[in-house]
Structure 1
Amino acid sequence: MEQALPGNVTIGVVRIGDTVRRPVGPWTDTVDALLAHLHAVGFRGAPRSLGRDDRGRQVLEYVPGELGDPAGTYPVAELASIGAFLADLHRATASFVPPPSATWQRVIPPDGIDLVCHHDVAPWNLVRSARGWVLIDWDGAGPGTRGWELAYAAQSMAGLRPDRPLAESAARLRAFVDGYGLAGADRPALAALLGPRARAMSELLRRGARDGVQPWARIHAEDGAYWRATADLLDAHVDRWVAALA
């Protein structure tokens, strides 16, 4: 029997027993190849791809566990472990060679390319499971940069938001980035990327609302003001983030 999944789930994604079924797109075969690679190199933080069902839907392993709070309320100690998890993911994807026919779904253009990224490393896609952290919803995966992905993940996981005191946000940012193990020379550049990456999300939602594209128009109505304010906050305090990461 098909069951609706909790949270802000993509339309058409359902659970059947210990599997998840989701509609396919031009990018699905490439995502399957990426997930197969992650499994082959021993990375346990992604669901296994199990092929197609009789309706042509992508079949994925269902990973039971608890999804994170979108507000970014992880304790500091867990932020360090999530940062380390993201570093493990990047080490695993660095050796992935996309198939010649690779097709990706590019929702927000990256700022360059140095490896394949997930592109939505956020609490709503992170499962606290019996086998450790597991990242779900890989449809938006594709080429990108460590810095662009790390900036988004740090903002969302650490909960760098306007209603949190700056000192607390700075400490949480430091915990996440220390967990990732980012080299000291790369930290000022990351601090400067936090605002632009949040603004790219804000612009995606604004365009979606303007053009009536879902789910971005709906998310803009719900969270558009949050993303604008967050981008403004991150841009206004780059020096504070640089100092926190020094």
Structure 2
Amino acid sequence: MSEIEIPLVGGRITAGVVRVGDTVRRPISADRWNVHDLLRELENIGFEGTPRFLGIDERNREILSFLPGDVPPDLDHFSDVQLRSAASLLRRFHDATAQSPLARQQNAEVICHNDWGPPNAVFYEDLPFGLIDFDTIAPGLRLWDLGYSAFAWLDLGNPEYTGAEQVRRLSVFAEGYGLSTCSPAQIAAYAVARQTALASSGRMNGKTDMEDWAASAAHWTIINVTEKLLPTGYFIDTDF
């Protein structure tokens, strides 16, 4: 008797992802050798917080270990404790990938998740403990990843927050990451860069809603956050 397949929901789940027993089956739409190699490396060094790659099934789907917990439906309002936890988990992921072959080949600081936000987090006992969805991993800078992560976790650009409150929350996020070279001001600058890059991507791909949302978020972040944190005359390169 074949095992029951349970469609997974929550976050922005890739179409066709299902749970089978204690595993997740995920359709493969592109070459995934880099993802599989990274997951194997993380398993070998004992990193907790990512699923284990278990192989390919008869329907050419990835077999991953299932991380028990809950995935938020989308961006939401998160507590200081949750923000610190999310940033701390990203720091541990970065530290674990810094010496990976893929990072070393590109002379990169770390492997960036590039989509570390609530929809790709597994929560357990109300705190993020697992990272999922590695479609966008690439060698890069810690701050490049932190900029997007702050944008996503703090919902930078959401006018429900005041600028002062987002500056405070950004300091909480930076504290959770815990690296002095990644200050709130630097993370804010890279958040604007990531917002601007997302707007450019939306424009190039004809996704006007994405373009308008990301451009509006970048404008809000510059006015309400970066101008409060960065020295007068500091230039943010938003040409992506």
Equivalent residue, structure 1, for 2:81: 77
Q: Which has the higher contact order (CA 8 A, sep 6+)?
A: 1
Identify unmatched segments of 5+ residues in structure 1: 103-111, 211-216
User: CA 1:69 to 1:168, structure 2 compared with 1: closer, same or farther past 3 Å?
Assistant: farther
CA distance in 2 between counterparts of 1:91 and 1:84 reads 11
Equivalent residue, structure 1, for 2:101: 97
Instruction: Please report how far the alpha carbon of residue 16 of structure 1 lies from its aligned counterpart in structure 2 after TM superposition.
Output: 1.9
CA distance in 1 between counterparts of 2:37 and 2:29 reads 14
Given that 1:162 and 1:229 are in contact with CA atoms closer than 8 Å, whether structure 2 keeps it comes out as no
Determine which of 158, 163, 167 is the counterpart of 1:166: 163
Q: Tell me which moved more, 179-188 or 121-130.
A: 179-188
SS of the equivalent of 1:20 reads: strand
Determine which of 118, 123, 134 is the counterpart of 1:123: 118
* 1:152-197 residue CA offsets vs partner (Å, 9 max, x unmatched): 1112112222311111111111100111013157554333222111
Given that 1:155 and 1:173 are in contact with CA atoms closer than 8 Å, whether structure 2 keeps it comes out as no
* 1:19-58 residue CA offsets vs partner (Å, 9 max, x unmatched): 1112224431210110111111121111111100011211
Equivalent residue, structure 2, for 1:205: 202
CA distance in 2 between counterparts of 1:144 and 1:75 reads 28
Query: Which residue type is aligned with residue 123 of structure 2?
Result: R
Query: Which residue type is aligned with residue 133 of structure 1?
Result: F
Alignment of 1:146-225 (within 5 A): 146-163=142-159, 164-183=161-180, 187-208=184-205, 210=206, 217=207, 221=209, 223-225=210-212
CA distance in 2 between counterparts of 1:88 and 1:117 reads 12
CA distance in 1 between counterparts of 2:229 and 2:42 reads 32
Tell me the TM-score normalised to structure 2 length. Answer: 0.83
Determine which of 5, 9, 22 is the counterpart of 1:18: 22
Matched, 1:30 2:30: no
User: CA 1:129 to 1:185, structure 2 compared with 1: closer, same or farther past 3 Å?
Assistant: closer
CA distance in 2 between counterparts of 1:11 and 1:69 reads 15
SS of the equivalent of 1:116 reads: strand
Instruction: Please report how far the alpha carbon of residue 129 of structure 1 lies from its aligned counterpart in structure 2 after TM superposition.
Output: 2.6
**Percent sequence identity over aligned pairs:** 32
Equivalent residue, structure 1, for 2:213: 226
Query: Which residue type is aligned with residue 228 of structure 2?
Result: R
* 1:70-116 residue CA offsets vs partner (Å, 9 max, x unmatched): 3341101221122111111111011211399x9xxxxxxxxx94221
Tell me the TM-score normalised to structure 1 length. Answer: 0.81
Query: Which residue type is aligned with residue 216 of structure 2?
Result: A
Query: Which residue type is aligned with residue 197 of structure 2?
Result: A
Given that 2:121 and 2:128 are in contact with CA atoms closer than 8 Å, whether structure 1 keeps it comes out as no
CA distance in 2 between counterparts of 1:134 and 1:22 reads 17
Equivalent residue, structure 1, for 2:228: 240
